[in-house]
Chains A and B, each alone.
Chain A
Amino acid sequence: MSIVLKNINAGYKGFRLKEISLKIETGSFTALIGPNGCGKSTLLKTIARILPTAGGAVEIAGKNIKSERTKAVARKVAVLPQHPVVPPGISVQQLVGYGRAPHQNLLGFKTAKDHEMIEHALKTVSLIDLRHKLVAELSGGQRQRAFVAMSIAQDTPYLLFDEPTSFLDIRYQYEVLDLLRDLNNKGRTCVVVLHDIAQAARYATDLVVMKDGAIHSRGTPKTVITPQTVEQVYEIKARVYQDPVSNTAVVSPL
């Protein structure tokens, strides 16, 4: 069980990934980092089959996702896009319930197991008391947690998140990241696009650094985050030092 990318060619008009090959280890917390426009979101969308591949293959647990029904893939991989759409007139519990869709038939009637998973997801993100509130009325941090809960309810071994901390203030950023780390500790493989190098260093077990649609380097945060990498990838000179709280790398531009 792992995600294997073989010579992936995908992207948009004017930007393409360059034949990316990558193996994402099961049980890892893999962070994709890199400057704006480097292709980290594109890569995540490709793994999640939101973007079609023009070449190469994405294999999840040994199967090419193209040869599988999209519903079967959805039982293995949950995705949280960068800007989740907040539907009007939907309560937290109803939103989280949508995560059960891959386990349901076309009509979407819920079983006892579905209700159990929704309950579990709501508890995990501490939104059980707000379950009947409208998603549109939640604060930014609560809203993001509601969407994370939807992914939890989907009950998949793999979780893909595209910048789950963007537009949140610092408290909620770490709240969401702690939540992902807990999920990872419970055995779910997390693949997360992050903007902040320090956050990636602090939470990820495995870093993939991208530049210009290709993988620049990968490895543990300790080995990857160096002044050389920062200079080559972000084109700034910086000092890398240990954060006294987390003992992980922090980057300070010179």
Chain B
Amino acid sequence: MSLRFGITLTALTLLCILASVWSISAGAVQISTAEIINTLFNLDGPKQEYIINRSRLPRTLLALVTGGALALSGAIIQALLRNPLASPKIIGINSGAALAVLLGTLFFPDIALRWLPVIAAIGAIAVAVFIFALAELRPISPARLALVGIAVGFTCDAGVDYILVTASTYEFSAPLVWLTGSLWARGWSHLNAVWPALIALSALCLLLSFRLDLIRLGAAQATGLGMNVRLERLILLGLATLLAALSVSVVGVLGFVGLMSPHIARKLVGGVHRGMLPVAMLTGMLLVVLADATGRVILPPIEVSAGILTAIFGAPFFIFILLTSRSEDET
């Protein structure tokens, strides 16, 4: 595994760098690689400081951190629920965050940007607490837990739809774009609102990968192996919730990344989380950067949301993976 892991990790890292360079160069104004290098490293020669520094660089960085965070969140939730179909979107965390942000902007139209991640986190945590309080009160199977999450997610989505329909004024067209999962008009302020927390939480996730392996064996076996299942489940769920919520607060509901990246990673390097998590994270980063950049070049000057593109490109690939994988996901 270690050689395979090394090759995969290197390849994905290179792909992420290439995709990022492309993402900075692509758009209504095409920027050459030389100009990008000159600008980023402050060399002599032609530069494109305004577009790169004000728009595409922060946007690309934001795509990287949120893509990685959503992928990690999905991997954690799939392990916790022992369900390959689970993701932060499926169990309602993303929708909870989205509803909270929408309510926040509805009631406090002048709210500062830096509060949006906090509001999103509150909404997501409310959903997570609700779902897992149920699990604590009555022992229910992970499959049912996922169904409860789906129901809660639909309820939140209904709230989102209601707000959008009833308050469809000019100022609500921006949330509409945001909700589809878009990096449109994202800048340093958005990046600065989330990156320190996202990087810290992602690092913590990677550190705790072994615990995910154990909890993946089911509560009984994990207890038998000396794990404090209730406490660690809570910590891991908290991590997954915050990662997803902070991402949603700035880039909207990029639902598919969290579902798909762990599957791709498992296919590439196997199911041991120490190898799988970093690969899933890089896959998520790559997917979102590619989706965002592609969205800028296909119909300029119109931008197609990254969320739409991850679904369009990801879904066929995802179906292919599910059809070609063996019985290993059946438990």
Interface contact B224-A136, CB-CB below 8 Å: no
| Chain A residues within 8 Å of chain B by Cβ, number | 38
A254 proximal to B (CB < 8 A): no
B251 to chain A, nearest CB (A): 29
In the complex, whether A102 has a CB less than 8 A from a CB of chain B is yes
Q: In chain B between 215 and 247, which residues have their CB closer than 8 angstroms to a CB of chain A?
A: 216-221, 223-228
Q: Which residues 171-219 of B sit at the A interface, judged by CB distance below 8 A?
A: 207-211, 213-214, 216-219
Given A88-B266, A88-B331, A107-B207, also A50-B220 (CB < 8 A): yes
Contacts of B226 in A (CB 8 A): 69-75, 101-102
Q: Are B207 and A136 in contact (CB under 8 A)?
A: no
Task: State whether B224 touches A79 (Cβ < 8 A).
Answer: yes
CB distance from B14 to the nearest CB of A (A): 24
A133 to chain B, nearest CB (A): 11
Nearest CB on B from A242, distance (A) = 37
Given the known interface contacts A98-B213, A102-B226, the answer about A81 and B218 at a Cβ–Cβ threshold of 8 Å is: yes
CB of B293 within 8 Å of the partner chain: no
In angstroms, Cα B82 to Cα A89, docked, is 13
A101 to chain B: which residues have CB within 8 Å? 210, 214, 225-227
In the docked arrangement, what's the CA distance between A115 and B227, Å? 21
A37 to B58, CA, bound (A): 61
Within 8 A of B (CB), among A65-87: 69-75, 77-81, 84-87
Could you tell me if B214 and A88 are in contact, using CB atoms closer than 8 angstroms? no
Check if B329 is an interface residue, CB within 8 A of chain A. yes
Given A50-B224, A79-B224, is A87 in contact with B271 using a C-beta cutoff of 8 Å?
yes
In the assembly, what is the distance between CA of A70 and CA of B230, in Å? 12
Q: Knowing A84-B218, A134-B328, A137-B326, say if A78 contacts B224 (CB, 8 Å).
A: yes
Q: How far is the CA of A45 from the CA of B328 in the complex (A)?
A: 27
Give the docked Cα–Cα distance between A104 and B329 (Å): 28
Q: Identify A87's interface contact among B207, B216, B220, CB under 8 A.
A: B216
Contact B217 A85 (CB under 8 A): yes
Q: Give every chain A residue within 8 A of B218 (Cβ-Cβ).
A: 81, 84-85
Q: Which of A35-63 contact B (CB under 8 A)?
A: 45, 48-50
Number of interface residues of B (CB under 8 A): 34
Determine which residue in B84, B207, B211, B226 has the highest number of CB atoms from chain A within 10 A of its CB, and name it.
B226
Residues of A within 8 A of B267 (CB): 89
Select the residue from A73, A90, A94 with max chain B CB neighbours within 10 A. A90
**Complex: A99 Cα to B217 Cα, angstroms:** 11
Q: Residue on A with the closest CB to B221? A: A81
A106 within 8 A of B: yes
Q: Which of A69, A74, A94, A136 contacts B225 (CB 8 A)?
A: A74
Query: CB of B104 within 8 A of chain A?
Result: no
- With both chains docked as a complex, state the minimum distance between the C-beta of B70 and any C-beta of chain A, in angstroms: 20
Contact residues in B for A108 (Cβ distance below 8 Å): 209-211, 213, 274
Q: How distant is the Cα of A72 from the Cα of B272 in the complex, in angstroms?
A: 25
Residue of A nearest to B224 (CB): A79
Residue on A with the closest CB to B142? A85
A89 to B264, CA, bound (A): 12
Q: Scoring A residues 143 to 154 as 1 if CB is less than 8 Å from chain B, else 0, what string do you get?
A: 000000000001
> Does B276 reach chain A (CB closer than 8 Å)?
yes
Known contacts A98-B214, A108-B210, A81 near B224 by CB under 8 Å? yes
Residues of B near A99 (CB, < 8 A) are: 225
Q: Contact string, B299-331, partner A, CB cutoff 8 A, digits 1/0?
A: 000000000000000000000000000111111
Considering only residues 111-144 of chain A, those with a C-beta below 8 Å from chain B are: 134, 136-137
Report if B270 contacts A (CB, 8 A): yes
Interchain CB contact under 8 A, A90 and B272? yes
Contacts of A70 in B (CB 8 A): 223, 226-228
> CB of A91 within 8 A of chain B?
yes
Whole-angstrom distance between the alpha carbons of A86 and B221 in the complex?
11
Known contacts A89-B266, A89-B328, A106-B208; decide if A45 and B217 are in contact (CB<8 Å).
no
Rounded to whole angstroms, the CA-CA distance of A48 and B207 in the bound complex is 28
Q: Give the residues in chain B near A71, CB-CB below 8 Å.
A: 226-227
Contact present for A81 and B220 (CB under 8 Å): yes
> In the bound complex, do residue A89 and residue B276 qualify as a contact, i.e. CB atoms below 8 Å apart?
yes
Q: Is the CB of B211 within 8 A of A106?
A: yes
Q: Which residues of A contact B223 (CB under 8 A)?
A: 48-50, 70, 79
Considering the chains assembled together, what is the distance between the CA atoms of A86 and B210 in angstroms?
Answer: 16
- By Cβ-Cβ distance, the 3 closest A-B pairs, closest first, are A89-B271, A74-B226, A108-B210
Q: A98-B214, A99-B225 are in contact. List 19 more A-B contacts (CB 8 A).
A: A49-B223, A50-B220, A69-B226, A70-B223, A70-B226, A71-B226, A74-B224, A74-B226, A75-B226, A77-B224, A78-B224, A79-B221, A81-B220, A81-B224, A87-B331, A88-B271, A90-B271, A134-B326, A136-B327
Q: Could you list 30 A-B pairs, sorted by A, with CB under 8 Å?
A: A45-B220, A48-B224, A50-B219, A70-B223, A70-B227, A70-B228, A72-B226, A73-B226, A79-B223, A79-B224, A81-B224, A84-B218, A85-B217, A87-B216, A87-B217, A88-B266, A89-B272, A90-B270, A94-B272, A98-B213, A98-B217, A101-B225, A104-B210, A106-B211, A108-B213, A108-B274, A134-B326, A134-B328, A136-B328, A137-B327
